[in-house]
């Protein structure tokens, strides 16, 4: 499965370990810049080679760092933006009244501003180095970071990519064809061809002559429907008018500051939770659904118990797995899950224990399948399979790869606030709820198949095969790294 995201700070000093199979795109050039001590050309080239060797693409989002760097000097750059009228007044108020990059109560130091400026220059070096290595670059903006306005920021990004060394054709591909290729949907979008989706821009001037010409839009076709320039202007003017009309209703100072410190804190928490909206939940649900239906130790364990003992043992194994989910949710909520990446000895201990347990479980099943006559296979149940609940629990809590997934993935879905760990715990429970539903279906299906067509000899082979799978999973876990 492809994964796009940041590079956790846990990889400081050992960046190469972050480039694991499946890490297919880095979001933001600064995720690499923060791992460079001197922002040198050599570092840029080294990072590009690491990405090339792992087939990891880069979305530089140069525009977001331009905005971050500019506002550390002065918030006037945001206040004077002609595009600010298209931003919801509550978001606009937060950018200006509660800016995390330039807070009057704790203004950025001259040293921090200087570092940000050097990172901005280094980001351009990264673009040039990645281009030289042949690593695909994809346009992105990190919209809604303070100052970054949807739509307009993409045009800014395209021009910044051109200034960093990409040709006009490469810049256009970064925002059209290449994203479709990375997503695996290039058969029906990403280029203008018969039979592909009718989503495109009609420009007044050739963008190959200048990327800035992408701003000269004559009209837009969306789902085959034409919107002229005058229609687009009317829509944008209406948006600006609605934002202006609702400014008093969504005044940031009144909402957050003018209601007293305790109420302000509750309002802040409400706003943070509101970021944890339906879109976030849908995105997380889609991700974990794919993980849930991907065969792994949990699927094998539930299927093995259902095959050997029927529905009750299968559901007991599932209950143990769910208890493991509650364990991980609690660890994340209390901020303890990241210890696995911070303490190498702890990771190694849990990894070895988990691999040993799975190997023991697998070998025991293989021995039982080999030594037990087919005539006794349904009645001669190995003792190790009697405690299905405990096995479900242990195969989860002794698998550090589960914890590593949450440490890497959850920060992309929860706000960085005092409520973040709690919301992360909720997402973990959603994951296990979806997984539990899927595994229930697996158990029911296995029991149904067992009742219809499984004979004693087949059960013996199935038990041996499942044992081999457990041994293989144990070997893979033993070789896992942080």
Question: 309 to each of 288, 319, 322, 387, 459, how far by Cα in Å?
Answer: 29, 15, 20, 12, 11
**Domains of the chain, residue spans:** 3-188, 276-478
- 10-residue mean pLDDT series, the chain (482 residues): 87 91 94 94 96 97 96 94 94 89 85 94 97 97 93 97 97 97 93 90 96 97 91 95 90 62 47 53 82 81 81 89 86 70 68 75 72 51 60 80 73 63 81 90 86 59 68 67 55
Q: What is the predicted pLDDT for the residue at 261?
A: 46
269's tokens: 């928490």
The 10 Å CB-count burial string (b at 16+, else e) for 100-120 is ebbeeeeebeeeebebbeebb
251-307 pLDDT, tens digit each = 877 765 554 444 445 444 444 444 455 667 777 888 888 888 887 778 888 888 887
Which pLDDT does position 157 carry in this prediction?
A: 98
- What is the pLDDT, as a whole number, of residue 309? 78
pLDDT at 2: 87
Pairwise CA distance, residues 83 & 91, whole Å: 13
> What does the pLDDT read at residue 382?
43
- Residue 80 to residues 85, 92, 147, 262, Cα–Cα distance (Å): 10, 12, 10, 32
Which of 255-292 are b and which e, b meaning 16 or more Cβ less than 10 Å from the residue's Cβ?
bbeeeeeeeeeebbeebbeeebeeebeeebbebbeebb
Q: Which two tokens stand for residue 461?
A: 């082979």
Per DSSP, the three-state class of 219 is strand
Each residue of 51-85: pLDDT tens digit? 999 999 999 999 999 999 999 999 999 999 999 99
CATH topology of domain 3-188: TIM Barrel (3.20.20)
The pLDDT, as a whole number, for residue 267 is 45
Q: Report the pLDDT value the prediction gives residue 431, as an integer from 0 to 100.
A: 87
Task: Select from 249, 311, 348, 252 the least CA-distant residue to 439.
Answer: 311
d(CA 170, CA 359): 50
- What per-residue confidence (pLDDT) applies to 72? 93
**Strand 3-5 with 57-59, pairing:** unpaired
- Contact call for residues 219 and 232 (beta carbons, < 8 A): yes
């Amino acid at each position: 499965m492809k994964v796009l995201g940041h590079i956790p700070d846990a990889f400081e000093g050992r960046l190469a370990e972050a480039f694991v199979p499946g890490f297919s795109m880095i979001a933001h050039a600064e995720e690499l810049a923060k791992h460079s001590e001197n922002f040198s050309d050599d570092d840029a080239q080294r990072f590009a080679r690491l990405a090339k060797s792992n087939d990891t693409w880069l979305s530089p989002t140069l525009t977001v760092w331009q905005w971050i760097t500019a506002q550390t000097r002065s918030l006037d750059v945001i206040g004077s933006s002609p595009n600010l009228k298209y931003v919801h007044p509550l978001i606009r108020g937060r950018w200006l009244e509660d800016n995390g990059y330039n807070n009057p109560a704790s203004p950025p130091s001259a040293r921090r501003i200087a570092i940000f400026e050097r990172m901005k220059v280094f980001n351009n070096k990264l673009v040039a180095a990645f281009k030289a290595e042949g690593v695909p670059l994809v346009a992105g903006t990190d919209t809604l970071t303070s100052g970054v306005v949807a739509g307009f920021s993409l045009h800014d990004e395209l021009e910044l990519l051109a200034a960093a060394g990409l040709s006009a054709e490469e810049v256009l591909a970064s925002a059209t064809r290449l994203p479709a290729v990375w997503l695996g949907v290039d058969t029906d979008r990403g280029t203008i061809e018969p039979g592909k989706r009718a989503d495109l821009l009609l420009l007044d001037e050739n963008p190959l002559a200048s990327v800035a010409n992408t701003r000269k839009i004559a009209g837009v076709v969306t789902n085959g429907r034409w919107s002229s320039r005058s229609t687009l202007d009317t829509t944008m003017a209406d948006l600006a008018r609605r934002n202006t009309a609702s400014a008093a209703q969504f005044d940031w100072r009144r909402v957050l500051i003018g209601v007293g410190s305790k109420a302000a804190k509750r309002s802040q928490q409400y706003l943070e939770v509101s970021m944890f909206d339906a879109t976030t939940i849908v995105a997380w649900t889609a991700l974990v659904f794919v993980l849930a239906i991907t065969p792994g130790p949990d699927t094998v364990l539930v299927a093995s118990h259902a095959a050997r003992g029927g529905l009750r043992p299968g559901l007991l194994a599932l209950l143990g797995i769910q208890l493991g989910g509650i364990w991980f949710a609690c660890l994340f909520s209390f901020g303890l899950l990241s210890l696995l990446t911070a303490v190498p000895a702890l990771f190694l201990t849990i990894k070895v224990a988990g691999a040993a347990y799975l190997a023991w479980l697998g070998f025991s099943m293989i021995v039982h399948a080999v030594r037990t006559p087919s005539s006794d296979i349904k009645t001669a149940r190995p003792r190790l399979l009697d405690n299905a609940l405990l096995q479900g629990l242990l195969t989860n809590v002794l698998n550090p790869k589960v914890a590593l997934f949450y440490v890497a993935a959850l920060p992309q879905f929860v706000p960085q606030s005092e409520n973040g760990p709690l919301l992360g715990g909720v997402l973990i429970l959603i994951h296990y709820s979806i997984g539990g539903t899927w595994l229930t279906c697996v158990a029911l299906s296995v029991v149904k198949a067992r009742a219809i067509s499984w004979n004693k000899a087949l059960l013996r082979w199935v038990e041996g095969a499942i044992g081999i799978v457990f041994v293989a999973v144990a070997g893979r876990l033993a070789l896992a790294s942080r």
